[in-house]
Amino acid sequence: MLATPLLITQELSNLTYSATPRCFDESWAAPLSTLLGLGRAAGADFVEFFLERVNFINCMAEDDAITSIAPRLSTGAGVRVFRGKADCYVSTNDLSFNGLRLALEKALGIIGLSLPGASAFIPEINLEMFRDYGKARGKEGWLAASTSMEQMGEVLLAANSALAKKASHVQSRKAAYFRDWQEVLVAGSDGTFARDIRLTQSVGYNLLCVDGDHRSSINQRIGNTSDPSFLQSWDYDQTADDVSESAGKMLYADFVESGTYPLVMANAFGGVIFHEACGHLLETTQIQRKTTPFEHKKGQKIAHENLTAWDEGLTKDAFGTIDMDDEGMPAQRTLLIENGILKNFISDRAGSMKTGHPRTGSGRRQGYTHAAASRMRNTYIAPGKFSNDDLFASIDNGLYCKKMGGGSVGPTGDFNFAVDEAYLIKNGKIDKPLKGATLIGTAVDMMQEISMSSQDLGLAAGFCGSVSGSVYVTVGQPHLKVNSMTVGGR
């Protein structure tokens, strides 16, 4: 791993980095098919290898200085072995044949199997014709075309300078960017043999304003999955306008009074509540643990009849978009809820084997040190038939949640989420700004209270942590009306 310098001036480091000259290509078919055959000969029902190379870098500007540049290069592999409904996972950074064989041997040993002897019959694993999404989709040049470190620093410093001109009472201003390039290869004893290249990027602001006892903190971030020039095309002036305006309004806002209110929740990142409080409960990992109230609800009504929700990996440039999942299955659209009726769960290979729900192309992992698990991709509530005016007009006294903050969710869907920017709704109109609101509820109750959806679906970049590590996801929704929700305040 390269050293990470701390830069205290606007001078950029001379640190350089590059990808290794190797790539995952068809030449891996012979060694991997042999190893897969060894695993099957040992008595495993299914064996899978996941190979990965990563070239990651992030950069941060604080006020008028670049304070960190952190690159990371890694290469490794993981092997997963299934026997009945039991499975185990072993990872290694030794990609030689002997290194992968040793990882396979350890995985087999964990579930009570051992490699066959010298005279044993090794079944031939016929891998499919190589599915190379990297080459087929023109991704081979993405890394070379990505933003240089010098350009990263220039853009972030210019962005922070723009924010300083637009915001007042600034305590601190930060602009941060990261680029994550990943090459993966998946080979399985069912014949799976596929490669992909991913390029995930995100940039955004964090602004803290203070005036005496008055404080406000606003974050805003955007993401992209396929454009090497994403950072250079970022309209940081417009983002700075949005962030500084929100911080200014919240700085002197009154605190909300605790109570039960009807709400209008903004589109885009407002979908974080659905993701956290409901989406996770539709993953087969939750069914395996018996921690979801929706386990036996497929085909039944679990939400208001105006609510339809999707999880998919196909939307162009969205943060959770993938050509294939980390088990080599092509991306697809999964209808989760239709007019309030639960239609499908989010399932990976292990989840499908253990629960009976079909795979949905949702086996995802942070990297080669993690086994894949059922994870969301682009998850959102679909547009409805109402206008935003209809939603606001239906509320005499309520709350408009324009920007959501952080929160926590219990294992069965109990949640609380802070609202970074909120407004009173009075007689169908947006009234004065309010701060300090926390939304409190349960997934089961909230789903029944979402009664109106507008037509302005918006998507937002997010980061999701679960049993297979942290993965990139999209949250989203149109503006929604929630009939009643508990709001904590003062």
Domains in the chain and their CATH numbers?
Answer: 26-250 (3.30.2290.10), 256-488 (no CATH)
**Token pair recorded at residue 149:** 């470190």
Query: Could you give phi then psi for residue 209, rounded to 5 degrees?
Result: -120, 140
Amino acid 262 reads P
C-alpha dist (Å) from residue 469 to 72, 262, 264, 367, 371 = 17, 35, 32, 8, 9
Task: Give a three-class secondary structure readout of the chain.
Answer: CCCCCCCCCCCCCCCCCCCCCCCCCHHHHHHHHHHHHHHHHCCCCEEEEEEEEEEEEEEEEECCEEEEEEEEEEEEEEEEEEECCEEEEEEECCCCHHHHHHHHHHHHHHCCCCCCCCCCCCCCCCCCCCEEHHHHCCCCCHHHHCCCHHHHHHHHHHHHHHHHHHCCCEEEEEEEEEEEEEEEEEEECCCCEEEEEEEEEEEEEEEEEEECCEEEEEEEEEEECCCCCCCCCCCHHHHHHHHHHHHHHHHCCEECCCEEEEEEECCHHHHHHHHHHCHHHHEHHHHHHCCCCCCCCCCCECCCCCCCEEEECCCCCCCCCCCECCCCCECCEEEEEECCEECCCECCHHHHHHHCCCCCCCEECCCCCCCCEECCCEEEECCCCCCHHHHHHCCCEEEEEEEEEEEEECCCCEEEEEEEEEEEEECCEEEEEEECCEEEEEHHHHHHHEEEECCCCEEEEEEEEECCEEEEEEEEECCEEEEEEEEECC
Q: What's the pLDDT score for residue 22?
A: 74
pLDDT of residue 313: 97
Collect the ranges in the chain with pLDDT lower than 50.
Answer: 1-21
Calpha distance 275→407 (Å, rounded)? 12
What residue type is assigned to position 108 of the chain? L
The answer to whether the CB of 77 falls within 8 A of the CB of 92 is yes
Could you count the other beta carbons within 10 Å of the beta carbon of residue 264?
Answer: 24
Do 326 and 364 meet the contact criterion of CB atoms below 8 Å apart? yes
Please answer whether residues 108 and 39 qualify as being in contact, where contact means their C-beta atoms are separated by less than 8 angstroms. Answer: yes
Task: Decide if 246 contacts 444 (C-beta within 8 A).
Answer: no
Please measure the distance between the N-terminal and C-terminal CA atoms of the chain and give it in whole angstroms.
48
Q: d(Cα 396, Cα 426) in Å, to the nearest integer?
A: 5
CA distance 25 to 393: 58
Q: Is 86 left (phi over 0), alpha (psi -120 to 50) or beta?
A: beta
